[in-house]
Amino acid sequence: MMHRRLLLLATLLSTLATPLLAQTAWPGKPVRIVVPYAPGSSPDVLVRILSDKLGQRLGQAIVVDNRPGAGGNNGTDHVAKAAPDGYTFLVSTNGPLVYSTVFNSKLPYDPFKDLAPVTLAGGQPNVCAVSNSMNVTDVKGWIAAMKKDPGKFNYSSTGIGSMSHLSVEILKLKTNSFAVHLPYASSPAAIMAILQGDVQFACVPPVAVMPQAKAGKIRAIAVTTATRSALVPDLPTLKEAGLPDIQALAWMAIMAPARTPPEIINRMNREIVAILKEPETQRKMANSYMEPIGSTPEELGKWMIEERERWAPVIRHVGLTAD
């Protein structure tokens, strides 16, 4: 009888310990973070700032996997369809995570159902920059040039439905001006298009703009956020420059495939948020014109819903569609 009781107790303890062992065993191999944009883009820079310390905290290497295309939708879709085993994560942005759901009826994934929030990692203003060939020095001159010669100018973005696309489209709408949109795979590519003369301006993250602006190759003239950014304090907001109130923040979020175990998501959240609070991380992000945020998974999920409600009317008013 005693032997039978001991056997039952041992079986019960083994059963209870199995989930705990599974939890503590993760990660047992390198963790992959997919960036749906090209190297040098803001999400790519962010992951590379975080990866070394994250790898140390997890005890495994972090593999950065760049999968650009379709304005970030390709790489985002790849993660949405990945196995929810805790070894594939995503750092994506406004467009693929929110805006594409409004204007693209053929989107092959639903970020609100196929992805699980981990943390809202960082944000930055878009910086509006113009080619030196436009011969303008401020926002008023930029808008005046577009209105004087409708269709003469092209502008680049990080993809259809991205914040860099929508911020210009709403500006065009409110100022009754016009320019032709040319989407690119990343913010460095969008700025390179200005340098090569393929486009004349862009409103993209400062990590791509400011090095070229400081070198005198392009001119940075404004930020798209509601208030001036501490990252580029000398640049006025569009509202300060006399335009209608236009507010656009570019943000980056860490996501996982839906049905990834909650304990793994919570562990990733804790580690990443802790890294974002470290002075060294904040210094590196500031050097790349990014501001750390850090949120709970629940806060990120709520933020995505709020962003969709905020921008859906704008997208529909502009008439943006991928069909």
**pLDDT-derived band at 24, boundaries 50, 70, 90:** low
- The alpha carbons of the chain give a radius of gyration, in whole angstroms, of 22
- Can you tell me the mean pLDDT for 152-166? 92
> CA-to-CA distance for 300 and 79, rounded, in angstroms?
17
Peptide bond into 297 cis (omega under 30): no
Q: How many other CB atoms are there within 10 angstroms of residue 113's CB atom?
A: 9
Which of residues 71 and 131 earns the better pLDDT score? 131
Joined together, the tokens standing for residue 213 give 């602006």
pLDDT for 21 equals 38
List, for residues 235-265, the tens digit of each pLDDT value: 999 989 888 777 788 899 999 999 999 999 9
Q: What is the pLDDT of residues 171-189, one digit of tens each?
A: 998 899 999 999 998 899 9
Are the C-beta atoms of residues 229 and 157 closer than 8 Å to each other?
no
Confidence grade of residue 4 (pLDDT, cut at 50, 70, 90): low
Kindly tell me if the per-residue pLDDT of 8 is higher than 90: no
How far apart are alpha carbons 140 and 242 in whole angstroms?
Answer: 8
Q: What pLDDT sits at residue 243?
A: 82
Determine contact, residues 165/158, Cβ cutoff 8 Å. yes
pLDDT in tens, 88-137: 999 999 999 999 999 999 999 999 999 999 999 999 989 999 999 999 99
Question: Helix 297-318 vs helix 262-276: angle between axes, to the nearest 10 degrees?
Answer: 80
Going by C-alpha positions, the residue among 217, 213, 220, 214 that lies closest to residue 195 is 217
Instruction: Using the structure block, give the residue that is written with the tokens 């092959």.
Output: 108
- Which band of pLDDT confidence, cut at 50, 70 and 90, is reported for residue 319? confident
Cβ contacts of residue 172 below 8 Å, gap of 6+? 146, 178, 179
Contacts of 287 (CB under 8 A, 6+ apart): none
CA of 32: how far to CAs of 138, 226, 249, in Å? Answer: 43, 35, 27
Helix (H/G/I), strand (E/B), else coil: 174: helix
The residues near 91 (Cβ < 8 Å, ≥ 6 apart) are: 33, 34, 35, 43, 46, 47, 121, 252, 253, 254, 255
Tell me the C-alpha distance between 41 and 46, whole Å. 9
Taking only the tens place, the pLDDT of each residue in 60-69 is: 999 999 999 9
128 φ, ψ to 5°?
-85, 125
- Predicted TM-score of the model (pTM): 0.83
pLDDT at 143: 94
List of domains in the chain = 30-123+251-318 (3.40.190.150), 127-223 (3.40.190.10)
- Tell me: the pLDDT tens digits for 189-248? 999 999 999 999 999 999 899 999 999 999 999 999 888 999 999 999 998 988 877 778
Share of the chain above pLDDT 90, in %: 76
What percent of the chain is predicted at pLDDT more than 70? Answer: 92
Q: Say if strands 154-157 and 180-183 run parallel, antiparallel, or are unpaired.
A: parallel
